[in-house]
A and B are shown apart, each in its own frame.
Chain A
Amino acid sequence: GESVGLHLPTLSVQEGDNSIINCAYSNSASDYFIWYKQESGKGPQFIIDIRSNMDKRQGQRVTVLLNKTVKHLSLQIAATQPGDSAVYFCAENKGNTPLVFGKGTRLSVIA
């Protein structure tokens, strides 16, 4: 079936550097995309979302980029901090359907 996947399962980044977490999706009909952060022992927390009528959206230290041509989604974290260490999930859906989650990327920040 169609699903959302990730290019890399783990990512190690030096504190202060920028992080880029990638996600590939296969459902070209999806019109909503979202990134979640999950810290150990906690439920996923919303980071940022984007609709298919946009290709970029910025939040506080985070930017989501959407390339519909190649069905690629990325999350950029500026000036990565130790508190950013977590597993990051992308998810997508269309309309009222449940979100489909990728397997996640573990981000480790090296002090």
Chain B
Amino acid sequence: GAGVSQSPSNKVTEKGKDVELRCDPISGHTALYWYRQSLGQGLEFLIYFQGNSAPDKSGLPSDRFSAERTGGSVSTLTIQRTQQEDSAVYLCASSFSPGLPRGNEQFFGPGTRLTVL
């Protein structure tokens, strides 16, 4: 597709369940980012993948959060044993390699709205 896509667009789950959120980046983009946005708040960085390098996981709030990026393209963010405070919009972004021309510009997907009951 032409842009970053995310699925599902909405996810309602019960406390304690695991959820998986998917991100399809723009073809050719080597960098992929996950952010969390709580209601009325800014973007909280979660994790960053760049090519084949080890991901930067410094923003993950707890060990219940993990992410994978298979084949350098699609990424899945997994939240285990969800809690009510995990309710937020989870945004994915991709970019060319940072440091290259236009590499700093991140293109965002529409997000997945997660509601934990």
B residues less than 8 Å from A97 (CB atoms) = 98
Contact B41 A99 (CB under 8 A): no
Contact A34 B108 (CB under 8 A): no
Kindly count the residue-residue contacts between A and B in the assembled complex, taking CB atoms under 8 Å apart. 53
Contact A34 B48 (CB under 8 A): no
A100-B45, A101-B42, A102-B42 known; A42-B110 Cβ under 8 A: yes
Q: Mark B37-54, 1 if CB is under 8 A from A, else 0.
A: 000011101001010000
Partner of B91, one of A44, A46, A95, A104: A44
Contact A95 B99 (CB under 8 A): yes
Q: How far is the CA of A98 from the CA of B111 in the complex (A)?
A: 18
| Chain A interface residue count, Cβ-Cβ cutoff 8 angstroms | 23
Partner of A44, one of B43, B56, B98: B43
A43-B108, A93-B104 known; A98-B91 Cβ under 8 A: no
Which residues of B are at the interface with A, using a C-beta cutoff of 8 A?
Answer: 4, 33, 35, 41-43, 45, 48, 50, 56, 59, 91, 93, 98-99, 104-111
Which residues of A are at the interface with B, using a C-beta cutoff of 8 A?
Answer: 32, 34, 36, 41-46, 49, 89, 91, 93, 95-104
